[in-house]
Structure 1
């Protein structure tokens, strides 16, 4: 149970969650090829979302 709404007396207007699903949790170094391929588009999406949220607050 989250206590945020009780503490702040309101819910956020928008909640964005970005995630990467892991295919293999075994030991290793670096990113798998599929994750490495997905990082750039995910970072771009996060940047667009942050820009949108910044514009919405003006």
Structure 2
């Protein structure tokens, strides 16, 4: 796998998805649940889901 891959947790099922950085604008879908990885909405987070998002390569605001 290329070093330009990013780790993205799914906002729906919390599965970790590894995606090439060049494909971030291609409307990526989760490999487990096949729903969009970017919803355009704020996410309600639990302690467990926050940890998954904090470990990802994208910033948490």
TM-score w.r.t. the length of structure 1 is 0.26
**Which of the pair is proportionally richer in helix?**
1
TM-score w.r.t. the length of structure 2 is 0.25
State the structure with bigger RCO (CA 8 A, min sep 6), 1 or 2.
Answer: 2
**Which of the pair is proportionally richer in strand?**
2
